[in-house]
Structure 1
Amino acid sequence: MRTITLVVILLLIGITATAQTTIKGTVLDDNNQPIPGANVKLQGSPVGTVTDFDGLFSLTVEQSPPFTIEVSSIGFETSSTVITSESTEVTITLKEGTELDEVVISASRTPERIFESPVSVERFGIKEIKNTPAPDFYDGLESLKGVDINTNSLTFKSINTRGFASFANTRFVQLVDGMDNTAPALNFVLGNLIGMNEIDVNSVELLPGASSALYGANAFNGILFMTSKSPFDHQGISAYAKGGITSQEAAGDNEYYDYGIRIAHAFSDKFAAKANFAYLRGTDWFATSTVNVLNPNTDRTDPNYDGLNVYGDEVSTNIRGVGEILVGRGLLPAGAENILPDANVSRTGYLESDLNDYPAESIKFDAALHYRPFANDLELIYVGKVGRGTTIYQGANRYSIRNFFLQQHKIEVKNNNFFIRGYITDESAGDSYDTRFTGININRAWKDDETWFGEYAGTFVQATLAGALPEQAHATARQVADTGRLLPGTPGFESAFRRVVRDPDLATGSRFQDATQLRHADVNYNFSHITSDFADIQVGGSFREYKLNSFGTIFTDFDGPIRYSEYGVYTQIQKKFADERAKVTASMRYDKSQLFDGNISPRLSIGYTLGEERNHNIRASVQTGFRNPTTQDLYIGLDVGRAILVGSAQDNLDRDVRTFSGTDISGSGQAILGSDSVDIVGRSAYENSFSATSVLQGNPVRSTASPVEPEKVTAFEVGYRGKVDRFIIDVSAYYNQYKDFISTQNVIIPFYGEVGDGTLSLLALQNDDFEVYQAYTNSDEDIRSLGVTAGINTRLPGDFELGVNYTFAEQDLDEDRDPDFRTEFNTPKHKVKATFGHSNLFKNFGFNASYRWSDDYFWEAAFGNGDVPSFSVIDAQINYKIPSLKTILKAGATNIGGDEYFTAFGTGFIGSQYYISLTINDL
């Protein structure tokens, strides 16, 4: 009997221990409106769920009452409710908080209120994503203060903060669930072309300024964190569909559509999975500028015309030099060369629209497996992402990126205190090609340069002898030399176009090949659960390896892939004191590249909370950043027409060897050389070259370009965040000092002679026997930048929401001391942005509008330098919720009014975009 009694007692204990309680309920806001996506969890436990579209939830816990559940949602104050009954159905109302209550992770690698962040940080959450009038969340980031988005294409936007950026924004890092989605060979992020599905975004955080102390090399000007939704917390099937038109004067009206679906399910409290798919297609903004980049005051009648968005006309030569060669060969009578002008003439080019039909496409798929072996916070994650895109990239040239493919695979182990992750990034250039070399080599496929210039020179002489004026002689010469030229739309042109874009040899084709890989590993441990009585302490590190593999078309890897690696370790200590009003954060990181000496990056920040209600916070920080030279800075070897780009890694300087022959070298040069060809080694760009500016000014001097070294910045920042009555205020100011600033210099290498010899090298310049190279180097000049951002957000009577922010940015540089050096600051001095909206103007109906004004600024980059005029843009959207269908219907437009503008010299004008979207079950 005692045994039976003991068994019964043990069974009852087991039943009690495994008792389950299910709580059902609704989460509402102050206006009794449901809050979808609110987190509901058992206090002190990772067990939880989220509310559905109607604010409903069901939570099952293996615990008997009483216990406490916590309910939280971004923009609302967290609420705790004690559950006392096993069959409880509750209604929980969340009080609306402020954006100061939002939690961010990026600033310190640990969760903290944005109010107490030690440095400037911007957040773009689910609420902002749903309310943005932009066509997608990534475009919506442009409403954040201090943020620039340079639009290169409908599918390629480049984010920048605090200046110094082109489309190859190598000073800015973008992380998606901890993975750097930089294209390894290009060394910059292709926007959201192959990034994240909009309905899978949980939050976006942007950290402007230097962040190397925690995030290493290249987290120099800013870092963007995109975090996806967990399949444990956000389950079900969600989908969206968008459709509309893009409207541009040059391109007309074109259809645009974007579809996406997310499927997520937790099979148990241990295993969950999700998958996302998105597809976008449209027509890109046409680039149609025909301004003469060599002489903007002339038009296409200029014999040496070189149009900005015209390609093939970069091929140019001194026509008198051609006459001398023809006379020497007996093809023109003696003295005929004197009839020809001592000036350059260019071949006839093709419009960009002749070489690109402007498709814009993005296909993204990702899947993730999440496993919690003990049903607690320890989690094992596998993520696989693949994407293919078609877009336009503007670097040294304009590139048609066709079927670009990138894949990433990550394995991660984490809990609340640590993570270990490793991932690989692999890219393929697909069918991408260089539009400039497409135009050049279609011309050459029809008629080689020597023949074309010979016909031009001969015809010019004949026309002049017949009494034609110079302008008439030039027109006649071009007409004769162009006779039979391949015209766009003809079978001959299309056949030549197909051959050229499939040929990776830039002497005859324009395709670029690439299969570069990046391997990366991260680890971080937060000891705060052990050391919290003293301070919060973290340690971590990372390792990265590059494997460059462009088959010799971009890099000098013609004999096989080039590999190099870098690593870093860091620590951070964070301490609160003075009744937890003061917080000090100190960080330090050591990084070492295989190619350079090690670098130490410290950061120190102090924050203090003021006011009886603790609603004012002031902060100050000193932080450092550094960036290693990019793969292109180091190993590129690419002829882009106007210049030859040569990387300055020591083992690259002698790998780039180019032979110049035939019409590249004048008759005088051949006599001196005793040969009709010459080999130029990349090392000459740094050791035997003239400054390009000095040659243009008629006073040739030796170039100061030296092989590139890592770049460093010291950033000083002060700021204030707080609540004053109904207003949320965030103001910050920064001052940056740069050392060894990385950029490029154009240099001129003579085909013979040593720079400084006073004879042969100067004769080479006189005879046009030289080549322009672009060298990657550092500036010896002091470069500084400073700026201020200020934002005010408030809720007006009637629950209307208003936000206004202002950004000031300026660089301090004496350009006269180093005229060859380009910093590519590329940022307006003044920007103003505003948003106005209401999430529930009347039942189920909301709207939002945004306004952006940008000051004019000067854009400088390898492709071209020029003014970007001031512009103003208004975007707006209205939305209607259909609760019974768990659906949101939205209609919106960007650039209302259609006043076209551009954000970078050489890109297409940005027109208007009109769309309607339907989103189902977006939790």
Structure 2
Amino acid sequence: MLKKQLVMIVFALVAVTNYAQVKISGSVYDEYLEPFYNARISSGGNFAISDEEGNFSIVLQSSTLPQTLTISAFGFRTEEVIVTSLEKGINVVLKENFLLDQVIISASRVPERIIESPVTVERLGLADIRRNTSNSFYDGLTNLKGINSREGSYGFKSINTRGFADFANTRFVQMIDGMDTAAQALSYSTGNFSGVSELDIQSVELLPGASSALYGANAYNGIMLMNTKNPFDYTGIATMFKSGYTSQEAGGNNPFYDVAVRMGYRFNDAFAAKVNFSYYEAEEWHANDLRNKEIDSNELIDGTINSTVNYNGVNTYGDENFYDLNIKDSNIPWGTLLRRTGYTEGELIKNNFKSKNARFSGSLYFRPLRNESLEIQFTSRLSLRDNLFQGTSRLVQRNYLIEQHKLEVKGDNFYIRGYYTGNDSGNSYDLTRTGNSLNEAVKSMGVYKDDFYDQRYVQGSTLEEARAYADRDRLLPNTSAFNQEFERITSTLISDGGSRLYERSSYTHADGNYNFKSLLNDWADVQIGASYRQYNPKSKGTLFNDKEGAISVEEYGMYTQIQKKFFEERLKLTGSIRYDKSDNFEGNYSPRVAINYALGEEKKHVLRASYQTGFRNPSIQEQYMFFDSQVKTNVGTVADNLRRISYPDSYYIRWDDQSNSYVWDTRDVRGEEILNNSLLTRSVYYDADTYEGETDIESKYKELVPEVVKTFELGYRSMFRLNNETNIDIDVNGFYSIHDNFVFNQDVTVPNGGKVYPYGNRKATDEELALPENRFSYVKDGVIVLNTAANYLFSEGFVRDFTITTNANSQVESYGFAFGMHTKLFSSFDFGLNYNFIDFKYEDKDYGLFEPNFNTPKHTVKAQFGNENLFNNLGFGVSARWQDKYRWVSNFVKGDVTERTVIDAQLNYRIPSIKSRIKVGGTNLFGKEYYVAPGSGRIGQLYYISWTINN
């Protein structure tokens, strides 16, 4: 009897439930009345996704009418439809969202409209990606206000904001779904090499300026968040096929190929997965800058190979070492530097300028409660590439692998994630070391200079004849002897005397965040968060100083933020503070205070002001660098790294009491002498006819400490409605920043022995000068600069040259102003225009030897114009960028970059019947080739055609 009653109760409940829940169907369209795929339709706790035809069916919680359906899609206005009848279908048109109403998360780590952000934010959404005129969405980021892209090669682009970066962009953080994309060896993001496929990107948010208060160390210049598509919302198979060719005077016309596929599948309301694969192959922009690097002026002088004795070409390698011929013959002017004949870049890469990149990513998504309130994600990313990279030298990267794996749990009010990043340098090698090793394999620099001197100054030969005689045994490219020695050098590790890099480093990271807003009954957004990271560099001494012992560095941070609205939600106050600690440095606090005030009846005019402090821990590369380029050794100056450095059996002279004379001996030169017993190189080796600075300056630089920036920012963001159809979005912002402890590189020279005295100290007494150790010392203006031993070692060349990473004594100030606007002309034509001004200044306290790597044009103007549906599914887009001349400063080369104008354009045609879009476009149309930086390849024109299906 009891069983029958239970069966009747269950049957009744099921019947009631089925009666109460009714299904309603409908269709979603875009502004052009095309089916809208992947729109989200929700009612109560239920939701549905529109299919490829725009159709959907959703179960209502009750048959009681009316009920409300909410239809939404990322980047489009949310629509609400009131259901009054169960017999009629629902038809909805989604329109693109106004920019300032779009929701972001980067500025405050909570969802908020762009117009309400406490700081300026740039955003690229799905509609912007469709309209993009560049070769990829990542290339298109350079069209945004205040954003600079540095194209180091065809595949490598480095995004930055607010200056102070070369290709080694360690002051800007790039993330994919919360995962830092920085590679261990380089300590910064390698662009989109290991990034997001064109088919999987959902949006990009860029936060210019210091962001350490929420994102920790290294978010110094800004941060970029790339968000990918969730397979619960974006299902199906999408593909892209792209081809075309690049055109360059040095490289000619060369084809490129780019393919991608994305597969997303929602198994049910609890499980979903996606897989991405992409591959491209293209010709690199050939680098053949043959200008000569001037040692004193840091200018680039036009010329041909070996046009002077002191020829050191930008893209020639093996001519970096020099010998001052004055040392051999006092009749030759001091500063007459002899360099060897180098090899061109093409000769050292066997004319293999191919760039390749294969990327794979796979993700599993699990929703245990069958809704968005709790989600577990596991993601793996792999990237394999061949390309050229410009750092302290030019590097050939072959079979370079990066892997990342992430596990994340997130809910409505929290997230916690952990991930691992590892890389393998494959068969990569350094061009400078390769060129120098090829020359040294034939004869030493000492023999080379003797050959040259005898022919030039004894026999009276011409410069060309003397060089040809010294080069008579030189290995010639494409010969068997050259190839054999080349293979030996590039397969031998740098730490063993070759040019091959070994780098299999990794780091692990964990972070989490909790928002107490729901517990506080929405009184305010109150967040707490923390992060932890452990670095494990591993290079066998080829890049880091880890040949004799492993390196491990830990850092952690914690932060809190409160955000509260007042006065009918017109006034918003934001306060944040973060504390970070790293093994090699003292802790840093990063506060931020911001205020917003909304004007107007619709609160569409927002004033904002903020003050924030950012900091940057020197990268692991800057801390533990020990890279011997065979010209100078690049050294990081944290105490732990200096303790690891020793040069045993170094020849030096010392005073011997028994013989009452100086004698030769050997000793161990220790790392700490690099800081406390050295002269600034530029003050020792110089052209006496052109050098105007102080001479023989003792280096007084200290151990490395973090950089700190304090930024004040004002802004105004607004949306004006000209009529019912036309809106103008406007964003204006200005900032002023003060930079302390600016990290830069300084050249120093260390004698194998003796003592370097602080020049400018008190004058020496006669008794001091009479001491044996000072009897033949170097005295300037009555002050001892070098004692006898050090003076002799300098004059005979028993010294070592280093490039140290340290902090400048000069304080740097930067400031800027930016204006941007966007509107629709004639209802359907998109038009955007922005202008950016940025500059810097500093009071020199580094003897004229410090030059910040600002590397940014002072004035930039960008404009975009287009229409996605001009007529009959045909659309077009045009973008133009102009920037003025700027100065490029890096360890590799310094020089001016000329102004340029770049115009990109595209035509696209949609074929709804097969869910396809065909796009034809070109970049740098009608423009001349240009350098992004001296030493990189000149960028010419690129033309492409792409076919995208189901995206």
TM-score (norm 2): 0.90
Question: CA contact under 8 A between 2:32 and 2:869: conserved in structure 1?
Answer: no
SS in 2 for 1:815: coil
User: Partner of 2:41 in structure 1?
Assistant: 41
Deviations 1:78-137 (A, max 9, x none): 111234566763211234441011100111111111110111111101111111011111
User: Partner of 1:733 in structure 2?
Assistant: 734
Q: Within 5 Å, which residues of 2 pair with 1:480-499?
A: 480-499=469-488
User: Partner of 1:187 in structure 2?
Assistant: 187
Task: Answer with 388-397 or 859-868: which moved more.
Answer: 388-397
Distance 1:59-1:492 versus aligned 2 partners, 3 A rule: farther
Match of 2:519 among 526, 530, 536: 530
Question: CA contact under 8 A between 1:617 and 1:721: conserved in structure 2?
Answer: yes
User: Partner of 1:561 in structure 2?
Assistant: 550
Gaps of 5+ in 1: 325-336, 666-670
Match of 2:842 among 810, 813, 816: 813
Distance 1:254-1:420 versus aligned 2 partners, 3 A rule: same
SS in 2 for 1:182: coil
Question: CA contact under 8 A between 1:202 and 1:229: conserved in structure 2?
Answer: yes
Question: CA contact under 8 A between 1:204 and 1:226: conserved in structure 2?
Answer: yes
In structure 1, give the amino acid aligned to 2:944.
Answer: Y
In structure 1, give the amino acid aligned to 2:441.
Answer: A
Match of 2:344 among 343, 346, 351: 351
Paired with 2:628 and 2:822, the residues of 1 have a C-alpha distance of 50
SS in 1 for 2:586: coil
In structure 1, give the amino acid aligned to 2:706.
Answer: P
Paired with 2:2 and 2:217, the residues of 1 have a C-alpha distance of 71
Question: CA contact under 8 A between 1:288 and 1:908: conserved in structure 2?
Answer: yes
Distance 1:20-1:487 versus aligned 2 partners, 3 A rule: farther
Whether 1:363 aligns to 2:358 is yes
Task: Answer with 879-888 or 526-535: which moved more.
Answer: 526-535
Match of 2:370 among 358, 375, 380: 375
> Following TM superposition, by how much is the alpha carbon of 1:44 offset from its aligned partner in structure 2, in angstroms?
4.7
User: Partner of 1:332 in structure 2?
Assistant: none
Distance 1:451-1:24 versus aligned 2 partners, 3 A rule: farther
Distance 1:857-1:46 versus aligned 2 partners, 3 A rule: farther
Question: CA contact under 8 A between 2:326 and 2:333: conserved in structure 1?
Answer: yes
SS in 2 for 1:127: helix
User: Partner of 1:99 in structure 2?
Assistant: 99
Match of 1:653 among 642, 648, 655: 642
Whether 1:314 aligns to 2:320 is yes
In structure 2, give the amino acid aligned to 1:863.
Answer: F
> Following TM superposition, by how much is the alpha carbon of 1:490 offset from its aligned partner in structure 2, in angstroms?
2.2
Paired with 1:510 and 1:369, the residues of 2 have a C-alpha distance of 41
Paired with 1:794 and 1:87, the residues of 2 have a C-alpha distance of 40
Question: CA contact under 8 A between 1:75 and 1:101: conserved in structure 2?
Answer: no
In structure 2, give the amino acid aligned to 1:732.
Answer: N
Question: CA contact under 8 A between 1:65 and 1:86: conserved in structure 2?
Answer: no
Q: Within 5 Å, which residues of 2 pair with 1:402-481?
A: 402-464=398-460, 468=461, 472=462, 474-481=463-470
Distance 1:401-1:11 versus aligned 2 partners, 3 A rule: same
RMSD value, Cα: 2.4
In structure 1, give the amino acid aligned to 2:488.
Answer: R
Paired with 1:267 and 1:364, the residues of 2 have a C-alpha distance of 25
SS in 1 for 2:697: coil
Distance 1:488-1:583 versus aligned 2 partners, 3 A rule: same
Whether 1:13 aligns to 2:13 is yes
Whether 1:686 aligns to 2:675 is yes
Query: What percent identity do the matched residue pairs reach?
Result: 42
In structure 2, give the amino acid aligned to 1:715.
Answer: T
* Moved segments of 4+, more than 6 Å: 337-342
Whether 1:828 aligns to 2:827 is no
Paired with 1:147 and 1:338, the residues of 2 have a C-alpha distance of 54
Distance 1:46-1:817 versus aligned 2 partners, 3 A rule: farther
Question: CA contact under 8 A between 1:878 and 1:892: conserved in structure 2?
Answer: yes
Task: Answer with 580-589 or 340-349: which moved more.
Answer: 340-349
> Following TM superposition, by how much is the alpha carbon of 1:855 offset from its aligned partner in structure 2, in angstroms?
0.8
Distance 1:238-1:621 versus aligned 2 partners, 3 A rule: same
User: Partner of 2:288 in structure 1?
Assistant: 288
User: Partner of 1:579 in structure 2?
Assistant: 568
Question: CA contact under 8 A between 1:705 and 1:745: conserved in structure 2?
Answer: no
Match of 1:514 among 500, 503, 506: 503
Whether 1:304 aligns to 2:304 is no
SS in 2 for 1:189: coil
> Following TM superposition, by how much is the alpha carbon of 1:640 offset from its aligned partner in structure 2, in angstroms?
2.3
SS in 2 for 1:534: coil
In structure 2, give the amino acid aligned to 1:314.
Answer: E
Deviations 1:228-251 (A, max 9, x none): 101111001001011010111101
SS in 2 for 1:42: strand
Q: Within 5 Å, which residues of 2 pair with 1:666-681?
A: 674-675=663-664, 679-681=668-670
Q: Within 5 Å, which residues of 2 pair with 1:526-675?
A: 526-658=515-647, 674-675=663-664
In structure 1, give the amino acid aligned to 2:468.
Answer: Q
Distance 1:692-1:341 versus aligned 2 partners, 3 A rule: closer
Distance 1:95-1:512 versus aligned 2 partners, 3 A rule: closer
> Following TM superposition, by how much is the alpha carbon of 1:307 offset from its aligned partner in structure 2, in angstroms?
0.6
Task: Answer with 436-445 or 640-649: which moved more.
Answer: 640-649
Deviations 1:471-524 (A, max 9, x none): x1x322221221242222222222222221111135631111111111000111
Paired with 1:399 and 1:508, the residues of 2 have a C-alpha distance of 16
SS in 2 for 1:139: helix
Whether 1:257 aligns to 2:257 is yes
Distance 1:904-1:461 versus aligned 2 partners, 3 A rule: closer
Question: CA contact under 8 A between 2:48 and 2:56: conserved in structure 1?
Answer: no
Whether 1:503 aligns to 2:492 is yes
User: Partner of 2:770 in structure 1?
Assistant: none
In structure 2, give the amino acid aligned to 1:56.
Answer: N
Distance 1:674-1:173 versus aligned 2 partners, 3 A rule: same
User: Partner of 1:334 in structure 2?
Assistant: none
Paired with 2:661 and 2:98, the residues of 1 have a C-alpha distance of 77
Deviations 1:21-46 (A, max 9, x none): 544322224443444443x2324547
User: Partner of 2:166 in structure 1?
Assistant: 166
Paired with 1:676 and 1:317, the residues of 2 have a C-alpha distance of 24
Paired with 1:582 and 1:342, the residues of 2 have a C-alpha distance of 65
User: Partner of 1:56 in structure 2?
Assistant: 55
Paired with 2:100 and 2:818, the residues of 1 have a C-alpha distance of 17
Match of 2:924 among 867, 892, 895: 895
In structure 1, give the amino acid aligned to 2:878.
Answer: A
SS in 1 for 2:459: helix
User: Partner of 1:329 in structure 2?
Assistant: none
User: Partner of 1:396 in structure 2?
Assistant: 392
In structure 1, give the amino acid aligned to 2:950.
Answer: N
User: Partner of 2:705 in structure 1?
Assistant: 709
> Following TM superposition, by how much is the alpha carbon of 1:822 offset from its aligned partner in structure 2, in angstroms?
3.0
User: Partner of 2:656 in structure 1?
Assistant: none
> Following TM superposition, by how much is the alpha carbon of 1:442 offset from its aligned partner in structure 2, in angstroms?
1.6
User: Partner of 2:156 in structure 1?
Assistant: 156
Distance 1:225-1:673 versus aligned 2 partners, 3 A rule: farther
Distance 1:782-1:319 versus aligned 2 partners, 3 A rule: closer
User: Partner of 2:828 in structure 1?
Assistant: 799
Paired with 2:476 and 2:61, the residues of 1 have a C-alpha distance of 76
Question: CA contact under 8 A between 1:400 and 1:433: conserved in structure 2?
Answer: yes
In structure 1, give the amino acid aligned to 2:705.
Answer: E
User: Partner of 1:752 in structure 2?
Assistant: 753
Deviations 1:570-612 (A, max 9, x none): 1111111111111111111111112221111111111111112
User: Partner of 1:863 in structure 2?
Assistant: 892
Task: Answer with 744-753 or 568-577: which moved more.
Answer: 744-753
User: Partner of 1:904 in structure 2?
Assistant: 933
Gaps of 5+ in 2: 654-659, 687-692, 758-783
Distance 1:22-1:512 versus aligned 2 partners, 3 A rule: farther
Paired with 1:901 and 1:61, the residues of 2 have a C-alpha distance of 60
TM-score (norm 1): 0.93
Distance 1:212-1:63 versus aligned 2 partners, 3 A rule: farther
SS in 2 for 1:199: coil
User: Partner of 1:743 in structure 2?
Assistant: 744
